[in-house]
Amino acid sequence: MARYAMAIDLSSCVGCAACAVACKLENEVPPGASRLWIRLEESGTFPDLAMQYRPEQCMQCADPPCVGVCPTGASHVNDDGIVLVDAETCIACGACIAACPYGARYFDERGFVGKCTFCEHRLAEGRVPACVETCPTLCRSFGDLDDANSDVSRAIRAAHRVEVLKPEQGTHPKLVYLDAPARFGLTREGVLR
């Protein structure tokens, strides 16, 4: 059993969207839906302008609100702490889509709800998620939070700032952002260590 997590170093993300493309191809995500997207935020007054790329996806919450509302148990957390949807028992009611504070779920036209799985099928083969493998700036770190030597644990230790989105929701995301050049909704509260 592991406690898989991901860290994204925003100081080195260049917004190339290679992760989004890799995810789409790897997981056959249907048109019009995304498991992963890039947010570009700009603000300020010249010459004090700020700009930041931020990849967003399922936050793999430690306390996921999408799981409790599922009427069939299709939405569940596996032994490695990954929030998954069992397509066989999903009735596509959309309750989990309504519950997700991050907009990370979508209706898959094949009759179930889709979301990021941390590429569970690749983990089973000893590989990292497609977005991690593809990133040309190596801004994504992945691994077991309980292993002090994992990439993600080392990246978090080395970071100046570790932040999450929407901590007020009490979801305790296992996807954290490192060293963001600007705030744009990020906060240090609610970071899972």
Partner 1 sequence: MTSDAVTTFYGAVNDGAFWHWPTLVHFFLVALAGGVALLVAYRALGRDRLGWRLPALSVGLVALDMVVLWAESLARWRLTHVYLFLSIRPASAIWWGAWGLAGSAVLGLLLAFGWGPRRLWGALLAVTSTMALLYPGLALAANSARPLWTPLLLAFMPVTGLLLAWGLALLFRQSDLRPAVGVLGLAGALLGGLYLVGLATGGLAAREGLAHLWHEGGTLFVAALAAMLLGPALLRRYPAVAGVLVVSGAVLARTLLVEIGAFMPPLS
Identify the CA nearest to 83 among candidates 114, 110, 124. Answer: 114
Q: Give per-residue burial for 114-128: e unless 16+ CB within 10 Å, then b.
A: bbbbbbeebbeeeeb
**Which CB atom, from 45 or from 149, has the smaller least distance to partner 1?**
45
The least distance separating partner 1 from the CB of residue 126, rounded to whole angstroms, comes to: 28
d(CA 55, CA 57): 7
Q: Which of 25, 44, 136, 146 binds partner 1 (CB under 8 A)?
A: 44
Q: Which of 98, 121, 146, 181 binds partner 1 (CB under 8 A)?
A: 98
Identify the CA nearest to 82 among candidates 135, 3, 154, 179. Answer: 3
The least distance separating partner 1 from the CB of residue 142, rounded to whole angstroms, comes to: 20
Q: Which of 32, 79, 149, 160 binds partner 1 (CB under 8 A)?
A: 32
Assess 76 for contact with partner 1 (CB under 8 A): no
Assess 2 for contact with partner 1 (CB under 8 A): no
178 with 193: CB under 8 angstroms? Answer: no
Strands (E), 4-100: 4-9, 36-45, 48-57, 75-77, 83-85
Interface region with partner 1, contact rule CB under 8 A, candidates 4-12, 77-85, 103-111, 130-138? 103-111
Query: Site residues (CB under 8 A) for partner 1?
Result: 15, 17, 20, 24, 32-34, 36-46, 49, 65, 68-74, 88-95, 97-101, 103-112, 165-166, 169, 184-185
